[in-house]
Amino acid sequence: GQNIDQPTEMTATEGAIVQINCTYQTSGFNGLFWYQQHAGEAPTFLSYNVLDGLEEKGRFSSFLSRSKGYSYLLLKELQMKDSASYLCAVGDYGQNFVFGPGTRLSVLP
Amino acid sequence: SAVISQKPSRDICQRGTSLTIQCQVDSQVTMMFWYRQQPGQSLTLIATANQGSEATYESGFVIDKFPISRPNLTFSTLTVSNMSPEDSSIYLCSVKEDGAMNTEAFFGQGTRLTVV
């Protein structure tokens, strides 16, 4: 079966650091993707992990542990524009994605 | 990166009618997907649109309700048939570029459908 879990909502303060966790149990694994989705807009790609470890991209970093079925997205120096939903997605062997429920992040001044 | 044009961007439809959503990509891609995003929820894959053959539907989705066309490598349509208020959702077209196995997906802007 396919199961991806994320916290439903998180709140953080501008300038702070926030970590959004994702755990997964999927029948196939072809990489772990993070997407950002602002309200009323399409998802946009943030990061991708296929090997264990940390991938850093500016203010955003993503970590993967395949043995634990675990990933996190780390956002540093939070800005108001980072208020959005963050979707964890697992690529399966069928070339498509299984998306998690998404985490709605609110950044407060 | 692929650029996807999806239309209409939104529509309000009467129950019992059908709506066809179009997805145009600026490059030829093998893999095109249709997703549904119900209010406040994440994305659920409806089907993979295959060029030259019938679409591959996920569990819970059937061709009679969501017929899909894929006449060439740059275009696809999704029809939502015999609509009911439960079909009110955002429908998203997505593509993966040909080449590497593990590539990100690109999304159209979505079609916000309200059925009244």
Query: What is the DSSP code (8-state) at residue B50?
Result: P
Q: What is the pLDDT of residue A92?
A: 75
pLDDT of A26 > 90? The answer is no
pLDDT of A91 > 90? The answer is no
Q: What is the pLDDT of residue B30?
A: 86
pLDDT of B46 > 90? The answer is yes
Give the angle subtended at the CA of A75 by the CAs of B100 and A37, to the nearest 5°: 65
Show the 3-state SS of chain A. Answer: CCEEECCCEEEEECCCCEEEEEEEECCCCCCEEEEEECCCCCCEEEEEECCCEEEEECCEEEEEECCCCEEEEEECCCCHHHCEEEEEEEECCCCCEEECCCEEEEEEC
pLDDT digits (tens, 9 = 90+) for A53-74: 999 989 999 999 999 999 999 9
pLDDT of B90 > 80? The answer is yes
Q: Which of B48, B102, B109 sits opposite A42 (nearest CB)?
A: B109
Q: How confident is the model at residue B50 (pLDDT cuts 50, 70, 90)?
A: confident
Verify whether the Cβ–Cβ distance A42 to B107 is below 8 Å.
yes
How close does chain B come to A102, measured CA to CA in Å? 6
- Cα–chain center distance at B54: 14
Q: What is the pLDDT of residue A29?
A: 85
How close does chain B come to A2, measured CA to CA in Å? 12
Supply A9's token pair.
């909502």
Please give the mean pLDDT across all residues of chain B: 92
pLDDT digits (tens, 9 = 90+) for B11-29: 999 999 999 999 999 999 8
Query: What is the DSSP code (8-state) at residue B59?
Result: T
Q: What is the pLDDT of residue A28?
A: 80
Q: In whole angstroms, what is the distance from residue B104 CA to residue A44 CA?
A: 9
Higher pLDDT residue, B40 or B85?
Answer: B85
Query: Which residues touch A26 (CB under 8 Å, ≥6 apart)?
Result: A2, A3, A4, A90, A92, A98
